[in-house]
A and B are shown apart, each in its own frame.
Chain A
């Protein structure tokens, strides 16, 4: 029996580097980055592929966490493995606890990775649209409202590609938004463990064939101590 990976393009670089060195073979299915702006469409896209799974696939690994609730209700004839994370940012930071450290200073961090910077809805693209549509004065005001609760732009460094270009772009974004910029070390360990298994309860949800998460279970699965699943 085979294992499939349902992967988000946001994690393409990271996942490919892991798969290159892994001896196992997987059926790999990519999902576009833009889907995450609509948790409902993302859910539907994932469910559709789960419904069309080849019969020799007995396990599906999702590189998605809660991601706006997209995982709630997903079900399959195969086993489904889900990391106990909010989203890809926690996955790359390595743990839920580490993610929370960034909001403990009282104001938030806006995270960037290579893939977030290059997405066709990157914050830089959003910024240009805003200035064009609403003019520089109103546009800047809109952005300062959008980011009024932030103090930091955090560029995740996975060590996979040279930082120079991303750093330059992050700095431009931070300057435009009036925020600090920091480079934050990231890790591939969580993603690697997700691909290779085993899947201990502290870090992963394992759904047996036919089983699914209720919305409330999906919303509380990040914290394994409190989660009922």
Chain B
């Protein structure tokens, strides 16, 4: 099995030392973040499937999140050493009444690994909390995360609040997490819906690139 295939498999097996070793050697041999994340994502999706089929337990989901974050930190580290410029600013949080944060934490690390400055507001963030953060930090992108059913409703309330205060224009909003399955971002008036971390990055990059044009 090639290194690359092994990385997805090691993630699936929750073998942290192998994941970190392979990630490091792939960074050193010039593989880019996108490639490595794709493999880690593949592994983490399989972890989710094993959980759903009853083979894995909650703890294994948590551990997969920890391993993912640690692998991303390796990147973060390399980039800091390179003194790479900050690509853009993202404010992120889990919306009101929801406190599931494994997915949100993964998104944070993925964005940091890509050179974004991430301001993490934590969980159960009220619309007001997002408004304050937008006023204070002027992010390029606001990312709203949620898994519970009512998360979509909280997202809607957050976006309405931003609109009411005239803060919506010029702000790109991405919503995600498994509270959305597909469907129309317009319904909740966001710019983008995503579940896949790679799509999240692609969106944030497109926003900042457009700004820099």
Binding site for B on A (CB under 8 A): 34, 37-41, 65-69, 72, 86-87, 96, 100, 103, 106-108, 121, 126, 129-130, 133-134, 139, 142-143, 145-146, 149-150, 214-216, 218-220, 222-223, 226, 228
Q: Given contacts A108-B124, A223-B150, are A134 and B59 in contact (CB under 8 A)?
A: yes
A64 → B minimal CB distance (Å) = 11
Q: Give B39-86 interface residues, CB cut-off 8 Å to A.
A: 51-54, 57-60, 62-63, 66
Would A68 and B63 count as touching, CB distance under 8 A? Answer: no
Contacts of A72 in B (CB 8 A): 181
A149-B123, A149-B124 known; A143 and B59 CB under 8 Å?
Answer: yes
Collect the chain B residues with CB atoms within 8 Å of residue A130's CB: 57-59
Of A34, A100, A108, A216, the contact of B184 (CB 8 Å cutoff):
A216
Contacting pair A103 B99 (CB below 8 A):
yes
- Inter-chain contacts of B148 with A (CB < 8 A): 66, 86
> Contacts A41-B52, A219-B151, A220-B152: A126 and B97 contacting too (C-beta < 8 A)?
no
Complex Cα gap A222–B157 (Å): 13
A146 CB contact (under 8 Å) in B54, B58, B180: B58
Knowing A219-B151, A219-B152 touch, does A133 contact B59 (C-beta < 8 A)?
yes
What number of A-B contacts does a CB cutoff of 8 Å give? 103
Q: Across chains A and B, which 8 residue pairs bring their CB atoms closest together, nearest first?
A: A66-B149, A219-B152, A38-B52, A130-B59, A215-B181, A149-B99, A216-B183, A215-B183
The interface residues of chain B lying within 8 Å CB-to-CB of A121 are: 54, 57
Residue of A nearest to B153 (CB): A223
Extra pairs beyond A142-B59, A215-B183 (10, CB < 8 Å): A66-B149, A103-B99, A107-B99, A121-B54, A130-B57, A139-B59, A146-B59, A219-B180, A223-B150, A228-B187
Residues of B within 8 A of A214 (CB): 183-184
Chain A residues, Cβ within 8 Å of B180: 215-216, 219
Minimum Cβ distance to chain A for residue B17 (Å): 14
